[in-house]
Amino acid sequence: MRRILAVLALVASSFVVVPASADDCAGVKLVVDFTAFGGGVETGCAAGDPATGLAALKDAGFPYTFVPRRPGLVCQIKLLPNPCTMPTTSAYWSYWHATPGGAWTYSTSGAGTYDPAPGTVEGWSFGAGAAPGATP
């Protein structure tokens, strides 16, 4: 009996629970382009139906901050840029929408008021307003 229990314990401990990847997203997929900072393009998944673009960003694992004294204007995502500086026409976080495999569309709504639908893709890119460097 002890051998059976030992074998069962060994088998049970060999299973690892892996969270769903952004490719398997049952919600809103996020694409955040950090190439302006020497990084790459990162993806995440906001499960379910987040109420706003900002909720989707946070729920997908991308913490953000606002420009000081300008609530609603995203200044940093994952603490970049550091330090947080006042956005200019050549350096700001631009916000995008797409359907999977489609083309990016620049958002005409703020991320605090836009309600992304499950199954869509949200994009963020730092720079002069260029779309994220990845296919939605």
DSSP secondary-structure letter at 80? Answer: B
Mean pLDDT of the 40-49 span: 98
CATH number of 18-127: 2.170.130.30
Query: CA triplet 41, 62, 27: central angle to 5 degrees?
Result: 90
pLDDT at 39 over 70: yes
Asked whether the whole model's pTM tops 0.85, one would answer no
| Burial (CB count within 10 angstroms: exposed 0-12, middle 13-18, buried 19+), residue 49 | middle
Q: Where are the domains of the chain?
A: 18-127
Reported as a single tens digit per residue, the pLDDT across 62-87 is 999 999 888 889 999 999 999 998 88
Mean pLDDT of the 3-25 span: 44
